[in-house]
Chain A
Amino acid sequence: GAGVSQSPSNKVTEKGKDVELRCDPISGHTALYWYRQSLGQGLEFLIYFQGNSAPDKSGLPSDRFSAERTGGSVSTLTIQRTQQEDSAVYLCASSLMPSPDEQFFGPGTRLTVL
Chain B
Amino acid sequence: GQNIDQPTEMTATEGAIVQINCTYQTSGFNGLFWYQQHAGEAPTFLSYNVLDGLEEKGRFSSFLSRSKGYSYLLLKELQMKDSASYLCASVSGGYNKLIFGAGTRLAVHP
Report how far A42 CA is from B42 CA in the complex, Å. Answer: 12
Q: Are B103 and A45 in contact (CB under 8 A)?
A: no
Number of interface residues of A (CB under 8 A): 24
Q: Give the residues in chain A near B100, CB-CB below 8 Å.
A: 35, 42-45
A91 beta carbon closer than 8 Å to chain B: yes
Q: Give the residues in chain B near A71, CB-CB below 8 Å.
A: none
Measured as residues with beta carbon below 8 angstroms from the partner, the interface class of chain B is 20 to 34
A59 beta carbon closer than 8 Å to chain B: yes
Tell me the nearest residue of chain A to B43, going by C-beta: A105
Q: Give the residues in chain B near A107, CB-CB below 8 Å.
A: 41-42
Q: Are A100 and B31 in contact (CB under 8 A)?
A: yes
Q: Are B42 and A99 in contact (CB under 8 A)?
A: no
What is the number of contacts between chain A and chain B, taking CB atoms within 8 Å? 59
Q: Are A48 and B97 in contact (CB under 8 A)?
A: yes
A98 beta carbon closer than 8 Å to chain B: yes
Tell me the nearest residue of chain A to B94, going by C-beta: A56
**Smallest beta-carbon distance A88→chain B, Å:** 13
Q: Are B97 and A41 in contact (CB under 8 A)?
A: no
Query: Of B30, B87, B97, which is within 8 A of A45 by CB?
Result: B97
Most buried by A among B33, B43, B45, B93: B43
Report how far A35 CA is from B41 CA in the complex, Å. Answer: 14
Q: Give the residues in chain B near A41, CB-CB below 8 Å.
A: 102-103
Interface residues of B (CB under 8 A from A): 4, 30-31, 33, 41-45, 48, 50, 87, 89, 91, 93, 95-103
What are 13 A-B contacts defined by CB distance under 8 Å?
Answer: A45-B97, A48-B97, A50-B95, A56-B93, A58-B95, A91-B43, A100-B33, A100-B48, A100-B91, A102-B45, A105-B42, A105-B44, A108-B42
